[in-house]
Amino acid sequence: MIVKKILVPTDFSPNANKAIDLAVQIAKLAKAEIYCSDCEN
């Protein structure tokens, strides 16, 4: 499977920020683009 785009939904909480950091690492390895979506209650 080839990853080209990664969608990261976030509410900018501390846990969501950790997920963004992980997505960045994965994107660098896969040479993929990251898209963040603001998801608030």
pLDDT tens by residue, 15-28? 999 999 999 999 99
Residue 41 has pLDDT above 70, yes or no: no
Identity at 33, one-letter amino acid code = E
Whether residue 2 is predicted with pLDDT greater than 80 in this model: the reply is yes
- Rounded Cα gap, residues 21 and 40, in angstroms: 19
How far is residue 32 from each of residues 14, 23, 28, 29, measured CA to CA in Å? Answer: 23, 10, 7, 8
* pTM of structure: 0.81
Closest to 37 measured CA to CA, from 9, 15, 18, 6: 9
Q: What are the residue boundaries of the structural domains of the chain, listed by start?
A: 5-38
